[in-house]
Chain A
Amino acid sequence: RKEVEQDPGPFNVPEGATVAFNCTYSNSASQSFFWYRQDCRKEPKLLMSVYSSGNEDGRFTAQLNRASQYISLLIRDSKLSDSATYLCVVNPGQGRGSTLGRLYFGRGTQLTVWP
């Protein structure tokens, strides 16, 4: 089983739509979680960290369910500029015999927002 599983999409939505992405992770002891955004042929850029209580940054809302090992990202009022691939990223923490800071990436969910 992969460390991080994501629906690859693609998601094609009109401007103004609300879209949600989901992600599951396999290691229940994972310590930190992030959503990154990757534009075509570019490096990943941090979109937001994901906190246990859920967090919001403008039009973006991230949720974490540790019991279900499930992470979500909600984008409201989609803009054309939101078109990108969204990566679910998990830090398993050092306790797993893993190097501190080592990240596991989902395959990414592709989003296209059309006018």
Chain B
Amino acid sequence: GAVVSQHPSRVICKSGTSVKIECRSLDFQATTMFWYRQFPKQSLMLMATSNEGSKATYEQGVEKDKFLINHASLTLSTLTVTSAHPEDSSFYICSVNGGSNQPQHFGDGTRLSIL
């Protein structure tokens, strides 16, 4: 069964809308979750590392005020794309660390389309 649940799987909305994406760890507590973004024909790029109970760590070039991350519990992290624009249209995927040197478990991803 799924280890990570991500919701919603698909979002289509108007420019200027804020969109919240949820990532839940189903089988175990996750102090760290990762948020990735993938543009067509590109590799997954890490956007930020979500840390339970503290501020997220953002990768260079990712605007923290644009992509708000909240990790208030050990099983839930949320990514909010604020005032989304067409260039934010992408495939957003969260993942949970499987343990030291273990593969990560990915959510199903959220395909975001901003009109």
* A contacts, CB < 8 Å to B: 4, 8, 31-32, 34, 36, 41-46, 49, 87, 89, 91, 93, 99-103, 105-108
Complex Cα distance, B57 from A101, in Å, reads 13
Q: Does B111 contact A (CB under 8 A)?
A: yes
Q: Does B100 contact A (CB under 8 A)?
A: yes
- Residues of B within 8 A of A (CB-CB), count: 26
Question: Is the Cβ of A101 less than 8 Å from the Cβ of B34?
Answer: yes
Question: Is the Cβ of B32 less than 8 Å from the Cβ of A44?
Answer: no
- Please report whether the interface of chain A is mostly helix, strand, loop or mixed according to DSSP: loop
| Known A32-B101, A43-B93, A43-B108; contact A99-B44, beta-carbon cutoff 8 A | no
Distance of A2 from chain B, by nearest CB (Å): 9
Distance of A90 from chain B, by nearest CB (Å): 11
The interface residues of chain A lying within 8 Å CB-to-CB of B34 are: 101-103
Question: Is the Cβ of A107 less than 8 Å from the Cβ of B42?
Answer: yes
Question: Is the Cβ of A101 less than 8 Å from the Cβ of B93?
Answer: no
The interface residues of chain A lying within 8 Å CB-to-CB of B97 are: 100-101
Question: Is the Cβ of B111 less than 8 Å from the Cβ of A41?
Answer: yes
* B contacts, CB < 8 Å to A: 32, 34, 36, 41-46, 49, 57, 91, 93, 95, 97-98, 100-104, 106-109, 111
Complex Cα distance, B97 from A99, in Å, reads 11
A-B interface contact total, Cβ < 8 Å: 53
Question: Is the Cβ of B32 less than 8 Å from the Cβ of A99?
Answer: yes
The interface residues of chain A lying within 8 Å CB-to-CB of B57 are: 99
Distance of A30 from chain B, by nearest CB (Å): 10
Question: Is the Cβ of A45 less than 8 Å from the Cβ of B106?
Answer: yes
Question: Is the Cβ of A103 less than 8 Å from the Cβ of B111?
Answer: no
Distance of B80 from chain A, by nearest CB (Å): 20
Among A41, A43, A100, the residue within 8 A (CB) of B100 is A100
Q: List 29 A-B contacts (CB under 8 A).
A: A32-B102, A41-B111, A42-B108, A43-B93, A43-B106, A43-B107, A43-B109, A44-B44, A45-B106, A46-B103, A49-B103, A87-B43, A87-B44, A93-B101, A99-B49, A99-B57, A100-B32, A101-B97, A101-B98, A101-B104, A102-B34, A102-B46, A103-B34, A103-B46, A103-B104, A105-B36, A105-B43, A105-B45, A106-B43
- Minimal Cβ-Cβ distance residue in A for B94: A43
